């Protein structure tokens, strides 16, 4: 999809913030399809070697089990990030925020800032599916759901990528979160953005 595949394509859901459920469904299916490319093959190889009990194929069988475990971990990681976005979208309304300043990019992580934010509110963002470059059109803005001191999730118009994000200056914004009030803190808990998320876990190309 979009920058994930390195080319544009027609998406089966609206990217204007009106169909976040369609975006989530598409990303879940996409993650499962990526798993289906190799996961079943690793499983078949591992089972065949196990059932045939041929000692000379032990290494092949071991490789099959290892490959299956890694592809399952990759699937789990992708589904988890999509689920994080889902929790946010089901808790907060989406509103258009833009333009977006592209501060920096470090591998799979994107550092960005909304035009109405100060430097202390630079966001660290990650796409659930591996994105090879900045999503097309992100500089013009995105459909964001969340609460700035806690973070949130967004849909990029046009290219359709999901992005989960939190402030890079998490500790510096602690007072703002504490002073946000009981209701805002409860919503952040429901959306899984009340605590700082680890973005740096990298597993087998995720």
Which class for 160: exposed (0-12), middle (13-18), buried (19 or more C-beta within 10 A)?
Answer: buried
Q: What percentage of the chain's residues is helix, strand, coil (to nearest 5)? A: 45, 20, 35
Query: Comparing 75 with 60, which gets the higher pLDDT?
Result: 75
Does 203 have pLDDT greater than 60? no
The stretch 73-99 carries a mean pLDDT of 94
CB count within 10 Å of CB 135 equals 26
pLDDT at residue number 44 = 83
pTM, two decimals, is 0.84
Distances from the Cα of 103 to the Cα of 10, 47, 94, 112, 119, angstroms: 28, 48, 23, 5, 10
C-alpha 44, offset from chain centre: 29
């Amino acid at each position: 999809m979009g920058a994930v595949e390195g080319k544009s394509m027609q998406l089966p859901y609206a990217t204007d913030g009106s169909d976040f459920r369609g975006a989530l469904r598409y990303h879940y299916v996409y993650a499962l399809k990526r798993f289906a490319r190799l996961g079943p093959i690793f499983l078949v190889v591992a089972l065949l070697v196990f059932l045939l009990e041929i000692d000379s194929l032990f290494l092949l069988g071991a490789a099959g089990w290892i490959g299956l475990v890694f592809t399952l971990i990759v699937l789990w990681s992708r589904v988890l990030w999509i689920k994080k976005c889902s929790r946010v979208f089901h808790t907060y309304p989406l509103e258009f925020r833009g333009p977006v300043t592209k501060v920096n990019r470090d591998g799979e992580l994107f550092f960005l800032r909304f035009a109405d934010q100060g430097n202390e509110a630079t966001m660290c963002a990650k796409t659930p599916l591996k994105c090879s470059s900045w999503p097309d059109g992100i500089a013009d803005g995105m459909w964001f759901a969340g609460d700035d001191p806690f973070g949130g999730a967004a849909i990029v118009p046009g290219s359709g990528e999901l992005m989960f994000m939190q402030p890079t200056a998490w500790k510096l914004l602690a007072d703002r979160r504490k002073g946000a009030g009981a209701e805002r803190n409860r919503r952040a808990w429901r959306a899984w953005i009340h605590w700082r998320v680890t973005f740096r876990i990298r597993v087998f190309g995720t």
